[in-house]
C-alpha cells in the first residue's frame, strides 16, 4: 500500500514521462523533415522507451492497489531549429526529469515508503544512462559541426538505434 500523497506524486510523474514520449515523438517528426532520418529514428526509439517508463509506473501503482489517474499532456514544441539545439533541449529535459525523480525519492522517504524508494532506484540508474548517452551525442555534434560529412556520419550512427522491449515489462503488462 502507498499513501495518497505518494500515489499523487507517482501519477504526476507518469504525466512527465508521457510528455517525454510526446516531446521525442515531435522531435522525431521534425528531424525527419530536416532529412535527418537517423536522428528521427533515435528520437522515435526514445519516445517508445519513454512509454515503457510510463508503463513501469502504471504497473507499480496498480500493484499497490492504487488508481492511475491520467492528466492532460502538454503540447510539445514543433520547431527545434537545429539538430544541435534539439539534443541540447533533450539534455535539459532529462536533467529536469532527474530532478523530479530525486524529489519523488524524497517524498518516498518522508512517507516511510521503502518499497517506492527501491522501485524508483531503477529510474535513478536510467537517468544516469540517458544523460550520459545524450551528452555523448552532443559532444559528437559539437566536434563534427551541425552540417556536412561529420553530421552525416553521426546521423547514420543514430539510425542504428533499435528499440528493445524490456523482458520483465512485457511479462508484467501481458
State the residue number with the nearest CB to ligand OFO: 20
When the beta carbons of 122 and 144 are compared against ligand OFO, the nearer one is 122
Question: Is 50 a residue that touches ligand OFO (CB under 6 A)?
Answer: yes
Among 10, 53, 57, 58, binds ligand OFO (CB under 6 A): 53
Question: Is 94 a residue that touches ligand OFO (CB under 6 A)?
Answer: yes
Task: Tell me the three state secondary structure of residue 159.
Answer: coil
Copy the grid coordinates of residue 97: 526529469
The secondary structure of 15-27 as a DSSP string is HHHHHHHHHHHHH
As measured in angstroms, the least distance from the Cβ of 130 to ligand OFO is 5
CA distance 134 to 153: 16
When the beta carbons of 105 and 151 are compared against ligand OFO, the nearer one is 105
CA distance 168 to 172: 6
The secondary structure of 77-125 as a DSSP string is PS---SHHHHHHHHHHHHHHHHHHHHHHHHHHHHTT-HHHHHHHHHHHH
As measured in angstroms, the least distance from the Cβ of 126 to ligand OFO is 6
When the beta carbons of 17 and 113 are compared against ligand OFO, the nearer one is 17
Question: Is 97 a residue that touches ligand OFO (CB under 6 A)?
Answer: yes
As measured in angstroms, the least distance from the Cβ of 24 to ligand OFO is 8
CB atoms within 10 A of CB 24: 24
List binders of ligand OFO among 123-142 (CB under 6 A): 126, 130
When the beta carbons of 91 and 117 are compared against ligand OFO, the nearer one is 91
End-to-end CA distance of the chain: 23
Chain residues in the site for ligand OFO (CB under 6 A): 17, 20, 50, 53, 94, 97, 126, 130
Amino acid at each position: 500500500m502507498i499513501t495518497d500523497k505518494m500515489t499523487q506524486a507517482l501519477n504526476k510523474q507518469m504525466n512527465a514521462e508521457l510528455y517525454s514520449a510526446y516531446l521525442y515523438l515531435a522531435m522525431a517528426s521534425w528531424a525527419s523533415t530536416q532529412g535527418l532520418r537517423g536522428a528521427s529514428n533515435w528520437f522515435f526509439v526514445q519516445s517508445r522507451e519513454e512509454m515503457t517508463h510510463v508503463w513501469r509506473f502504471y504497473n507499480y501503482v496498480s500493484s499497490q492497489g492504487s488508481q492511475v489517474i491520467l492528466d492532460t499532456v502538454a503540447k510539445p514544441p514543433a520547431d527545434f531549429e537545429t539538430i544541435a539545439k534539439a539534443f541540447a533541449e533533450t539534455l535539459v529535459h532529462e536533467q529536469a526529469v532527474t530532478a523530479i525523480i530525486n524529489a519523488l525519492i524524497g517524498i518516498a522517504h518522508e512517507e516511510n515508503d521503502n518499497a517506492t524508494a527501491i522501485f524508483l532506484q531503477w529510474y535513478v540508474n536510467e537517468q544516469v544512462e540517458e544523460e550520459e548517452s545524450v551528452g555523448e551525442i552532443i559532444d559528437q555534434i559539437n566536434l563534427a559541426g551541425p552540417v556536412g560529412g561529420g553530421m552525416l556520419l553521426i546521423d547514420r550512427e543514430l539510425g542504428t538505434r533499435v528499440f528493445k522491449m524490456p523482458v520483465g515489462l512485457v511479462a508484467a503488462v501481458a
